[in-house]
Amino acid sequence: MNKGLILAGILLSGLLLVGCSSTQSKDNANTKSSSLVANNKKKAVDSSKAISESKAKIERKTKASSIAKKHSEDKASSASAASSSIAAQQSSKQVAASQSQSSANSEPTTLTGFLNKYGMSPAAYKMEHDGMTQEQALKATPDSMETSGEIQMENQYK
């Protein structure tokens, strides 16, 4: 029985020593892990500051380049508008001059233009004003200036 008590005492004291030492190692581990966490947090904060500063620099550069681009586009646009205005004025003067010259002495070049001006087809005009026969007027008129009925009539003479 004595031996049993001694053995139980030794076991109990051994367990206590093991428990104390594991508690001490846990405290050391907790201290080490908390210092690692603090270091990691500091590194994360530093890197996030660096990232935000980098983003701010990029935004400033982008804003500056977009302002410069807009400024150059505005200059180009105003220069283009001025040259377009001058070209349009010159073009309108030329068109007005050519229209006044051409309307005075030129004949219409399309069937529609001829019909609008004279109220009849070129073949009918030739028969009425030039004294041509129907066959002569149709042969003297190009197909592009004849109506579809006149083209059919002309084909009957061939």
In a domain, 91, yes or no: no
Q: Is residue 34 part of a domain?
A: no
What pLDDT does 50 receive? Answer: 72
Rounded CA separation 93/82 (Å): 17
3-state secondary structure (DSSP) of residue 58: helix
Give a yes or no: residue 145 inside a domain. yes
Q: What is the pLDDT of residue 4?
A: 72
Q: Look at residue 59 and tell me if it is in a domain.
A: no
pTM check: above 0.85? no
- Contact between 128 and 120 under an 8 Å Cβ cutoff? The reply is yes
Q: Tokens at residue 36, please?
A: 């690692």
Would residue 142 count as lying in a domain?
Answer: yes
What is the predicted pLDDT for the residue at 107? 84
* 101 in any annotated domain: no
Q: How many domains does the chain have?
A: 1
Model pLDDT, residue 121: 94
**Domain membership of residue 130 as a residue range:** 107-158
For residue 114, tell me if it sits in a domain. yes
Residue 136 placed within a domain: yes
- Successive 10-residue mean pLDDT values, the chain, 158 residues: 72 63 55 67 72 79 75 67 65 62 73 93 94 94 93 90
